[in-house]
Structure 1
């Protein structure tokens, strides 16, 4: 199976029609030389969007409320990513997966963050600056920890040398 191969609309429709006629996904994938997951994806796109699901896709923009609705529905029902995408008409499962991981990390506020107004280069500079600031803070924390350990070591060493230098007192 070749990767990153583009398939025509007719090819996709042929696969979907064969599946609708009762051919199994595994035999379809072997005969067409594609993965079974790709066949399932095409079947889902066709059932959800019709033939227009196979046309070139433009980047869709979803509202924050829509994202929250999808994430909460997915979590409440406990259904698969594929089923959630079909239910809400989301073309890519990776989009929903990104929303779920963002929600798990940052909550509802994470779904609100948008970078549309920031050009890519500026965004990279701010991200790099944040990472540099964090790494500088981490360096200082490591140095602080090292100095504390060194200080404790020197205190114990000093205490041991003083103990050896003072002769033990004789008991009367």
Structure 2
């Protein structure tokens, strides 16, 4: 399944060319095309750093814990802005780094570890207790019989209630 892209490659390249080659201000191009100028600034940085390939859509990526730690260290050490860090480390969105920073602040290194997503691959099944080889005592036998009789009684009560409901329904239908 392909990722849905809001702005296609040609559109991004056209906007960047207006700014870089035609010397039109960033805010004018952004306003003309109805989007935020910070978005255009990010596109320009990616274009300048990676060339035309920097504008192509990227697949969702899982980053390793060491990579995340490295990015956070470099941001702190070099006082990088989030936009610059995205460009330098080829991360598509600043929101990704913000999320890493929050998790690191709250949970430390364990917050940066990759966690499996979705349902677990296999369900845990509760196993029935294994019957022991020892014969049941008289008391245990009676308790089991009481339990089965209670179940049978509850089942019969439900059945009677359903039958009565059906009879009442039939009586209402007949004039």
TM-score computed with the length of structure 2 as normaliser: 0.59
Aligned to 1:120: 118
Counterpart CA distance in 1 for 2:9 and 2:63 is 26
Aligned to 1:105: 106
Q: Which structure carries more helix by proportion?
A: 1
State the Cα distance separating 1:82 from its structure 2 match.
0.6
Counterpart CA distance in 1 for 2:81 and 2:34 is 26
Whether the aligned pair in 1 keeps the contact of 2:5 and 2:57 (CA below 8 Å) is no
Alpha-carbon RMSD: 2.2
Query: Does the alignment pair 1:93 with 2:98?
Result: no
SS in 2 for 1:7: coil
Whether the aligned pair in 2 keeps the contact of 1:46 and 1:53 (CA below 8 Å) is yes
State the Cα distance separating 1:93 from its structure 2 match.
0.9
State the Cα distance separating 1:41 from its structure 2 match.
1.9
State the Cα distance separating 1:103 from its structure 2 match.
0.8
Unaligned runs of 5+ in 1: 123-172
Aligned to 1:81: 82
SS in 2 for 1:79: coil
Counterpart CA distance in 1 for 2:61 and 2:50 is 14
Aligned to 1:20: 20
Q: Which has the larger radius of gyration?
A: 2
Counterpart CA distance in 2 for 1:83 and 1:41 is 9
Unaligned runs of 5+ in 2: 121-175
Aligned to 1:29: 30
In the TM superposition, 1:1-172 aligns within 5 A as: 6-21=6-21, 22-112=23-113, 114-116=114-116, 119-122=117-120
Whether the aligned pair in 2 keeps the contact of 1:70 and 1:88 (CA below 8 Å) is yes
Count of residues in Structure 1 that have an aligned counterpart in Structure 2: 117
